[in-house]
Chain A
């Protein structure tokens, strides 16, 4: 009924806007009335009945789970896997969204299967082994997934398994640094590498790029809070090498990277890596915490802004906006920890509220101008 009311309202709006004529509006309404049975109450009831049956079956199995013999559990598991697999393989009319859901479902279901077998046979090992096995068996599913979610699930799991495996090796710190450089650097290179031959890996590239970028951002935020700690060479060389490798890749990209994007990424990487020497200098000169945090924050803002411009050059305007908000939040955090405590508590809180409102107002007013200027600048430098 609510849908009908909404439709009527929409039709009136479209009619007023001159998008459809009154005759068309009549025709749409009469069509919907004739087909109401297929989408209306009966349809909803049949969905409800189907949901009841499925949920009831799940509840029945779950409540009797312990009573089900191990063989039956495993048979049931593989039967369901087989049915879903058959739907994926043999149905040509399957919708892309359902295909994607089933693929992701099978990825999660595979992890459940590992747990089930381990439970039945009382097997256990270090967690990374189970995760690595899951990564091995589901790589194809993640790769054939049409959306990014396959890579979103797969890549963090693979990194967890890989880094947990490092820990078991009992290697010298230098070797761990080398392995860290190779891993993070390769991920950065892979993420920024544009090749038509690797078209199937597009989501893996994007997610890798996102992870390394997030790692850099997280690092450049946390660097400001490590002033009192000893600088670890391992971390420094890992980030330096990663930044160099990644910069080199971006620089030698010819075909698809725009100038603004390339420069933005380089500035971002440069300033992120510069946080380490800055920290070393601040430590050796016995800087006060607040000046160091201000300088570090400036590095962060400049770097993240460069990254935002790089995203803008790639027509990723939502990423640009998100990064701008992130910069604003970083400034707000700096204000709250450095200046807010200097004033009376009540006023400090009010000032934060005013700053947020001011920032929102300024962003709404200035956004069109900023977009227009950036587009003009970036197009001029193409």
Chain B
């Protein structure tokens, strides 16, 4: 009885440790998996009660309406092709199963009130840059990794080829200087 109680108490401590570790490893694996692409990003600013020190944006995948005739909160996929400026653009959308066989690079997402979201549209940054990163700077691009299955992992954000954190540092040092 005492032994089983002790093992339960041990399990209570080990379980969160093991699960958090497993989750971290899986996040690291997702982060490392796939090929690197650049996607254009633009501001996205719905009311966010839990907003912190992060940039909220959405991927600008071009003019194709990926959420046309798709119910709210429904999973969907976009077929991506390299655009003129090296960034990826959506060529067409559709069900992930169909696209997996017909398209080389697919991106999995979800239609939230007619907006295609991938749940990687948040970039955390240090608190000191809050004043200069309140909005997505113009001409921003996200460097992402997209796996063969279409899962996306955000790596970095660039503002005209400059790392966004370097850009923020510079904006703080020289507030009057233009981009």
Contact = CB atoms under 8 A, between A and B. Distances in A.
A82 B121 CA distance: 32
A186 interface: no
Q: How large is the interface on A (under 10, 10 to 19, 20 to 34, 35 or more residues)?
A: 20 to 34
A158 interface: no
Interface string A111-129: 0011001111111110100
A58 interface: no
Contacts, number: 80
Contacts of A119: 124
A89 interface: yes
B87 interface: no
Given A122-B120, A124-B122, A89 B10 contact: yes
Contact of A141 (B13, B23, B50, B122): B13
A144 interface: yes
B27 interface: yes
Contacts of B27: 117, 120-121, 123
Nearest to A130: B50
Contacts of B73: 168, 170
B122 A122 contact: yes
Nearest to A129: B119
Interface size class of B (residues with CB under 8 A): 20 to 34
The secondary-structure label for the interface of chain A is helix
Contacts of A81: 17, 20
Interface in B111-153: 119-124, 126, 128, 153
Which secondary structure dominates chain B's binding surface? helix
Contacts of B126: 65-66
Contact of A85 (B13, B23, B128): B13
B8 A124 contact: no
A29 interface: no
Contacts of A140: 8, 11-13, 15-16
B120 to A, nearest CB: 6
B42 interface: no
B12 A78 contact: no
A230 B148 CA distance: 53
Given A106-B16, A140-B16, 5 more contacts: A66-B126, A110-B20, A117-B20, A121-B27, A121-B30
Interface of B: 8-17, 19-21, 23-24, 27-28, 30-31, 50, 54, 72-73, 119-124, 126, 128, 153-154
